[in-house]
Amino acid sequence: MPPTIRRATPADAAVVAEFNRLLALESEGKTLDPALLQPGVAAALSDPHKALYFVAEDAGRVVGQMMITYEWSDWRNGWIWWIQSVYVWADSRRRGVFRSLFNHAEEAARQDGQVVALRLYVEKDNHAAQKTYDRLGMKPAGYFVHEKYPI
């Protein structure tokens, strides 16, 4: 049975922060500073203008998450929703949790009426994730991400 997807609330802050901590550690070998992470998650969960989190539940247990952030496209006269902070508990992987989160976000974007695209970034060597995104109908956008951090 697919997981239940719902919008995260401030009550989910601890599990969202833990998922983000694990995501950074597993995907990039980074240790996040809890003094920044915890209030950052709390700020996002309490202000829908900053971000929108969806969580996947299985038997009442949160087993996955996805964060959406927003970019206005003047070229397309609409919003691009960026999929970020995706994490699924190891024991729930390969069971359709990400697909359920993605499908939920895609349907929410369609219902919004002003969302014109879904985007995400993926590590260049993460071929398994790239195949997953391809299966969901996503294609490489032809961009590289550059950053200056911290500023």
Give the CATH class of 4-135. alpha beta
Q: Find all residues with CB under 8 Å of 150, minimum gap 6, and list them.
A: none
Which residue ranges make up each domain of the chain?
4-135
Helix (H, G, I), strand (E, B) or coil at 7: strand
The strand ranges marked E within 2-148 are 4-7, 52-58, 61-73, 78-88, 115-120
pLDDT of residue 123: 85
pLDDT band for position 1 (cuts 50, 70, 90) = confident
Q: Tell me the pLDDT tens digit for each residue of 86-137.
A: 999 999 999 999 999 999 999 999 999 999 999 999 988 889 889 999 999 9
Check: CB of residue 110 under 8 Å from CB of residue 99.
no
Q: Tell me the pLDDT tens digit for each residue of 39-72.
A: 999 999 999 999 999 999 999 999 999 999 999 9
Mean pLDDT of 10-27: 96
The strand ranges marked E within the chain are 4-7, 52-58, 61-73, 78-88, 115-120
Q: Which of 100, 118, 96, 92 is nearest to 54 (CA)?
A: 100
| DSSP code for 28 | H
Beta strands 115-120 and 4-7, pairing class: unpaired
Residue that is written with structure tokens 């929703």 in the block: 81
Confirm whether pTM is higher than 0.85. Answer: yes
